[in-house]
Amino acid sequence: MHVDSRVDQAGTGTSIMDTQQKVTILREGFLVKRGHLVHNWKARWFVLTPDKLIYYKYDGGKRDSCQRGKIMLKDCVITCPYLEYDNRPLVFRLQTKTCVDHFLEACSREERDQWAGDIAAAADKLEDPEGAVANGDGSPSVSPSTPGSSQPHHINLSKVLEAMYDVHSGINMCNHVEQGRMYTNCFSGSAVVDWLVFAQLALTRSEAVTLASALLEEGFLRTVGLRSVEALRTAGPSELFMDDSTALYSFSDSLKKRGCVKAETTLSAVELSGHVIKRGYLLKQGHRRKNWKIRLFVLRSEPSFLHYYDPTKDDISPVGGFPLRGSLVSSLDDNGVPSGVKGNIQGNLFKIITQSDTHYFIQAPSNREKMEWIDAIREHT
């Protein structure tokens, strides 16, 4: 895809605004970036081109025209997943040729892996003019795992458990919600898979699932909640363990645990217990100051709720949310500024009116994403 330097109100292909020549855009969207000097996290608009990753700031409700930085891709190394940050399992690291580290966070595991794969593929092509990628199956060469990883069946499971259980470098235990209950001191299936790949105990996610299934079968891990229990009861031998953020596990009761698993039912747990339908970064207008802020939105069903989080913090405690039952959602015209909307906006607006008559004004990064969100929300109102 080729685009020019003019601003595109549909929200696609506007990212290279500091040049007058056509630039190939391989991918663009929001990521949360850790600062170099002050290690705080800020949402930025990233644009991937064949040789660099460029990022921009949003000024209120509109992307600015001045790039805030660029990362050259030649000889860079991608580590995905990168699990050094508690409560930030969606981070990947990009290390440049000069050994400068950039830490970037996506809105979902799928987005994280796609961004890392696309960046790695672009970097590979800079090494190989023919465009060949490093892996024999045609997938990009990302370096989460590493040379020398053993196959799961050659690994000493007791050693894996020891490493996984380590209080400093082992898997992070935290709270999770399922079926209206809040479980403490446990971890999700996808978190286990991420950790096994990051710890270089498995080369691929498939190998990590096989290894985790062996840990489960040997009784080193146990299921927590209904989803993982049902999978263990009905799945075949190779599918005992679920690479899923909603399937919960913990260490065996026979271990001297760092903390016991407890479950309690609360109103917030009920709200957060629904199945995640969609996640993504959107801009939301504040109710009081009418300023625009980037938020991570999560759409859930059964029960149907739309929650939003501050992406500079975590996706555990929402800063707001509302039930979708009885809500109305509609697209807003980008010609002019709709009534109720303030500030310097970019477009791709839609509006949600809740059953309690609260009005939410939201901007999507593109017209396509706006329509996808509207359709998904309508299905659950």
For the chain, list the domains and their CATH numbers.
2-127 (2.30.29.30), 152-264 (1.10.10.10), 274-378 (2.30.29.30)
* Lowest-confidence region among 65-69, 149-153, 209-213: 149-153
Identify which has the larger pLDDT, 225 or 254: 225
Residues 21 and 18: their CA atoms lie apart, in Å, by: 9
Confidence (pLDDT) at 316: 80
Residue-level pLDDT at 380: 92
Q: Is pLDDT of 340 > 50?
A: yes
Q: Is the dihedral angle over the CA atoms 183, 189, 190, 196 positive or is it negative?
A: positive
Residues in Cβ contact with 379 at an 8 Å cutoff, skipping those fewer than 6 apart: none
Write down the pLDDT at residue 136. Answer: 42
Q: Per-residue pLDDT averaged across 6-28, rounded?
A: 55
% of the chain exceeding 90 in pLDDT: 51
Tell which wins on pLDDT, 4 or 254.
254
pLDDT score for 154:
57
Within 13 A of 167's CA, how many CA atoms are on the CB side? 4
**pLDDT reading at 330 higher than 90:** yes
38 versus 310: which is more confidently predicted?
310
Longest CA–CA separation in the chain, Å: 65
Q: What is the pLDDT of residue 178?
A: 82
Output the pTM of the full model: 0.77
The mean pLDDT value for 245-260 works out to: 80
- Mean per-residue pLDDT over the chain, rounded: 83
pLDDT in tens, 278-300: 999 999 999 888 899 999 999 99
Give the pLDDT of residue 238: 59
Predicted confidence at residue 284, as pLDDT, reads: 95
Using alpha carbons, list the distances in angstroms from residue 99 to 75, 113, 120, 165: 10, 22, 16, 31
How far is Cα 4 from Cα 1, in angstroms, rounded to an integer?
10
Question: Residue 167 CB: number of other CB atoms within 10 A?
Answer: 7
State phi, psi for 261 to the nearest 5 degrees: -85, 125
Contact 220, 251 (CB under 8 A): yes
Tokens, residue 354: 């809740």
Mean pLDDT of 4-11: 36
Please write the tens of the pLDDT for every residue from 144-187.
Answer: 443 333 444 457 888 999 999 988 889 988 888 887 788 888 99
